Chains A and B, each alone.
Chain A
Amino acid sequence: MVYRGEVPAGLALDSTLPTLQGSFSFPVKYGYASVGRVVDVGTESTNWWRATWSSPLTRTKTATTVPATVVIRLPQELDPRIGVFAANVETALNALLDAAPRLGKELFVIGQGVVGLLVTQLVRRAGASLVITSDLYEKRRSCRDLAARTWLLIQQRRVSRSVCSR
């Protein structure tokens, strides 16, 4: 939405992120999912951060200086590239907590973008007996192999009929 300029220009950027300032009116430096290697630390930071992979919530840039408070230290065994999903996993986890799936329940996840895919894997791990997913784009059918059992192509808004079918 930010990329397409669909966010109201008067809306303030997330005030909880110190690296973002101003509004959504263009040009805007925006982006909060990034992964990088810490090359230096300030005097108030501890040295063990140096040379570790981290996932700061920050503008997307090649090199950046951020407060230590917005940096998440990635586990050593994790592929650093996966760390870029940290912010989206936060969103997906919130969805999971709201969904409160119980063992054996049947869940339907609409949309298999980044967040939808993460939500699907989380509800699968939470013990859902059936996870149905759907998306507007045919090329996302292969995402079914990740966690869901059934995948539906959304056509003419009537995907709910399939979900409610016997």
Chain B
Amino acid sequence: MTGGAGADVVIEASGQPHALDDAIAAAAQEGRVVVVSCTALSEPSWPLEAIFTASA
């Protein structure tokens, strides 16, 4: 669909437990992943807290 490159921007708005894995896998190199949703009752497989609180 994207010529094999992946999407320039992926926006995760579903809140499904494994959607973040898919979002990151679908992004192109140097692409951007935006997380709008929040998930409950499950631990994300990525350390979101560490990523979001890291200094830019």
Question: A residues touching B (Cβ–Cβ < 8 Å)?
Answer: 1, 4, 6-7, 91-92, 94-95, 98-101, 105-113, 115-116, 119, 123, 130, 132, 134-136, 150, 154, 157-166
Interface of A is mostly: mixed
B44 within 8 A of A: no
- Is the beta-carbon distance between B19 and A110 smaller than 8 angstroms? yes
Q: How many residues of B contact A (CB 8 A)?
A: 32
**Is the CB–CB distance between B2 and A110 below 8 Å?**
no
Q: A130-B1, A160-B25, A162-B1 are in contact. Are A115 and B36 (CB under 8 A)?
A: yes
Residues of A within 8 A of B27 (CB): 108
State in angstroms the CA–CA spacing of A94 and B34 once bound together.
10
B9 touches A110 (CB 8 A): no
| Known interface pairs A110-B19, A111-B12, A113-B14; A95-B36 also in contact (CB < 8 Å) | yes
Q: Which of A94, A136, A150, A163 contacts B14 (CB 8 A)?
A: A136
Instruction: Say how far B48's CB is from chain A's closest CB, in angstroms.
Output: 14
A105 to B28, CA, bound (A): 11
